[in-house]
């Protein structure tokens, strides 16, 4: 593809609206032609950073916001919780927590048992009274 054929396609290439064959041709030409590459970079820079271009009106900005919001709502997954499932899940979690607290409390107030040594267990098995 020659420079005369590439230069009109640079804007479409920048915005991604170029056809697949033309895109391949432009991508093949740009690395080998410094002039077209400079032209593309300056065009890209001018489009992305230009402040002297007219700004979009408030109405067009609002239309864009509404279109984006509609698109996002259309893609959003449906809520997975039904209205009654959240309180049910919360109640179940609270019941488990209360049970764990009750078991911990009961274990902490029970009378501690002194550990028995091997010799005490041996004496108990033999039926010998302890010297205590």
- Read off the pLDDT of residues 12-47 as tens digits, 9 standing for 90 and up: 888 888 888 988 999 999 899 899 999 989 888 887
| Nearest by Cα to 109 from 101, 99, 98, 119 | 101
State pTM to two decimals: 0.40
Contact 43, 10 (CB under 8 A): yes
Where would I find the H helices in 30-113?
Answer: 34-49, 58-75, 85-109
Secondary structure percentages of the chain, helix, strand, coil, to 5: 70, 0, 30
Q: What is the CA radius of gyration of the chain?
A: 39
Mean pLDDT of the chain, nearest integer: 83
């Amino acid at each position: 593809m020659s420079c005369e054929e590439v230069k009109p396609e640079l804007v479409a290439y920048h915005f991604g609206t170029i056809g697949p064959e033309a895109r391949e041709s432009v991508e093949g030409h740009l690395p080998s032609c410094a002039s077209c590459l400079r032209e593309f970079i300056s065009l890209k820079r001018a489009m992305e950073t230009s402040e002297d271009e007219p700004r979009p009106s408030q109405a067009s900005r609002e239309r864009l916001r509404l279109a984006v919001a509609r698109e996002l709502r259309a893609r959003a997954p449906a809520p997975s919780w039904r209205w009654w499932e959240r309180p049910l899940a919360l109640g179940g979690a609270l019941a488990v927590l209360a049970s764990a607290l009750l078991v911990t409390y009961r274990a902490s107030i029970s009378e501690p048992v002194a550990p028995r040594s091997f010799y005490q267990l041996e004496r108990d098995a033999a039926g010998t009274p302890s010297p205590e």
